């Protein structure tokens, strides 16, 4: 019994999605020290909301890659990348970020940047959710809006 080509493509797409989700987890959680490693450390302990933000980022990344859609153009593929990059800034230690320290100093990092980070997390998750919704709408599996309602199932 052979596997149909569409089933193989679907399995490859799911495998790629899981791989990209794992890569996203490593890229976001290791440098921000949410996953503790000897390579990175943080001065401020991980806050409770950072774990669900990282989990949602990984889940949305997996979903985006798992959806069958047209070949992404440069504009379409920027939104998920922007969302993941913004997540890194949102969940990172406020005083470990050298850019924030140079711009605001330690007191500014704790007094100005740290309170903004949950909002950055919401924006990043919003970008990722919008990317998933857009990809789903452009999916080759989606029912075209021009199709008569009687033929939809």
- pLDDT tens per residue across span 27-50: 999 999 999 999 999 999 999 999
Residue 31 phi/psi, 5° resolution?
-65, -25
Rg of the chain, C-alpha, whole Å: 19
Of the two residues 106 and 150, the one the predictor is more confident about is 106
* All residues at 6 or more sequence positions from 49 whose CB lies less than 8 Å from its CB, including other chains: 118, 121
The number of beta carbons lying within 10 Å of the beta carbon of residue 113 is 20
pLDDT at 98 over 70: yes
pLDDT digits (tens, 9 = 90+) for 66-82: 987 766 565 656 677 88
Q: Which of 35, 90, 25 is nearest to 58 (CA)?
A: 25
> Is this structure's pTM higher than 0.85?
no
* Cα distances (Å, whole numbers) of residue 96 to 19, 102, 119: 28, 11, 19
The number of beta carbons lying within 10 Å of the beta carbon of residue 141 is 8
């Amino acid at each position: 019994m052979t596997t149909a080509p569409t089933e193989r493509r679907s399995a490859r797409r799911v495998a790629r999605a899981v791989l990209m989700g794992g890569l996203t987890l490593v890229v976001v959680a290791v440098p921000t020290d949410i996953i503790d490693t000897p390579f990175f450390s943080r001065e401020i302990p991980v806050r409770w909301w950072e774990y669900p933000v990282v989990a949602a980022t990984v889940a949305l990344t997996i979903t985006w890659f798992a959806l069958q859609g047209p070949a992404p153009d440069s504009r379409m593929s920027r939104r998920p990348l922007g969302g993941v990059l913004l997540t890194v800034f949102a969940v990172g230690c406020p005083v470990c970020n050298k850019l924030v320290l140079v711009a605001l100093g330690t007191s500014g990092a704790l007094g100005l940047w740290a309170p903004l980070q949950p909002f950055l997390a919401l924006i990043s998750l919003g970008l990722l959710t919008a990317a998933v919704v857009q990809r789903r709408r452009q999916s080759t599996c989606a029912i075209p809006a021009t199709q008569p309602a009687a033929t939809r199932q």
